[in-house]
Structure 1
Amino acid sequence: MQKIVFVCLGNICRSPTAEAVVATKARARSQAILVDSAGTGDWHVGEPPYGPMQTAAARRGYDLSGLRARQVSAGDFEAFDVIVVMDEANQRAVETLRPQGNTTPVRLMMSYVPDIGVTAVPDPYYTRNFDEALDLIEVAAEGLLAVLDP
């Protein structure tokens, strides 16, 4: 079973959405994976995903209501097979936590769709474009699941 953690800045928009989208799509494909999400910052620890993000996700059938924000830690490098980040800033922040000698891959979410010409999922907390974030996360989730063992 693959274990994946998704990471964004505050763990209230992009990463919990990626967690829910990938979990939902994996269940539909009968793929056994374990997913989680975290943020590089600690501002929202314990809080549910951002209301407008929950609303946008619910319109597409994804339930974020039970998720709670947490901060990424060095222990995630041991607990997960891959750490998937939403943008390059998240990637740099996560890499500062890497334990010496650890080889767990840290990949950009959009690297799972290299032909799209987009490297980051823009943060809808700032852009206010929740549907754009969902569009990108959905297409990247398909690419991610395609490379995992069935």
Structure 2
Amino acid sequence: MKRISILFVCMGNICRSPLAEGIFRYLVAEADLAGQFTIDSAGTGGWHEGKPPDRRSIATAESHGIDISGQRARRIRSSDFKDFDLIVAMDRDNLAALEKIAPPETTLRLFGDLALGTGENIPDPYYGGPAGFELVYTRLLTGCSSLLEALGAERASWRGNTSSVR
């Protein structure tokens, strides 16, 4: 079976997308499915390239038994559009930024549509305190759990479907 490759994307790749990557990676490992997935994260901006996730993201993940401290921020690359089956944006602004640069055959989705079914943006906790990071963690955990559960049923329909911005 072909590995499923998923890229989580936020603005700077230090808060939301590293948490999503870490949570999804953890859930996949817990389900003993690590060999079936390629999981990564990136940012639409390159301000933090090479740096670890925000210390508050690391602390939040760590408080739930997930280590994301080894991740390093990177900016989305043109090769990502062909290397990943599914690119998942944390909010509509980042989805719009991706839609401007992605080839038409790229499968781009909003996390709130794909994983939560609510259409909501995952809020950027960068300018807030620990409570904002915990809220983001909770929404990402809920969505990543649903996404992993739904992968078998939806996998065939992902390729070539770009999410519309509502």
Q: TM-score, normalised by structure 2?
A: 0.84
Q: What is the CA distance between 1:126 and its match in structure 2?
A: 2.3
Distance 1:28 1:53 in 2: 21
Distance 2:100 2:89 in 1: 13
Counterparts of 1:1-150 in structure 2, within 5 Å, are 1-31=3-33, 32-99=36-103, 102-111=104-113, 112-114=115-117, 117=118, 119-128=120-129, 129-149=132-152
Distance 1:10 1:86 in 2: 11
Q: Secondary structure at the match of 2:126?
A: helix
Q: What is the CA distance between 1:138 and its match in structure 2?
A: 0.2
Question: Which residue is equivalent to 2:156?
Answer: none
| Unaligned runs of at least 5 residues, structure 2 | 154-166
Q: Aligned pairs, how many?
A: 146
| Unaligned runs of at least 5 residues, structure 1 | none
Runs of 4+ in 1 over 3 A off after TM superposition: none
Deviations 1:88-132 (A, max 9, x none): 000011111113xx4121111122121xx4511101102331000
Cα contact 1:8–1:14 (8 A) shared by 2 = yes
Q: Secondary structure at the match of 1:125?
A: coil
Cα contact 1:19–1:36 (8 A) shared by 2 = yes
Identity of aligned residues (%): 38
